[in-house]
């Protein structure tokens, strides 16, 4: 079933990450027409100094064809 991986800078509390994951799971279930219990969500923290290499270049731009929402920033 659906799995969502969220990557963000470190610094949010466990409670904030938990609430975010629950909200995302609920929205995914609603929009994709599945049970919330079928959705899994992970949150991985990536330090800012690693963002460009690991996330922006390594995942976002490398798989740009699959993006439905592109970032409104660049990492030049």
Q: Where are the domains of the chain?
A: 1-45, 48-76
Q: What is the pLDDT of residues 5-23, one digit of tens each?
A: 999 999 999 999 999 999 9
Q: What is the pLDDT of residues 55-75, one digit of tens each?
A: 999 999 999 999 999 999 999
**Surface-to-core class of residue 28, CB atoms within 10 Å of its CB (0-12 exposed, 13-18 middle, 19+ buried):** buried
Superfamily of domain 1-45: Macrophage Migration Inhibitory Factor (3.30.429.10)
- Global pTM reads 0.90
**Cα distances (Å, whole numbers) of residue 42 to 18, 24, 58, 64, 72:** 10, 10, 18, 21, 23
Q: What is the mean pLDDT of residues 38-53?
A: 98
What is residue 76's predicted lDDT score, i.e. its pLDDT? 84
- Report the catalytic residues: 2
């Amino acid at each position: 079933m659906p799995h969502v991986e969220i990557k963000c800078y470190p610094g949010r509390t466990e409670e904030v990450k938990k609430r975010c994951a629950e909200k995302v799971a609920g929205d995914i279930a609603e929009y994709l027409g599945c049970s919330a219990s079928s959705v899994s969500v992970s949150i991985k923290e990536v330090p800012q100094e690693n963002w460009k290499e690991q996330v922006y270049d390594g995942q976002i731009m490398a798989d740009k064809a699959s993006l439905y929402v592109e970032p409104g920033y660049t990492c030049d």
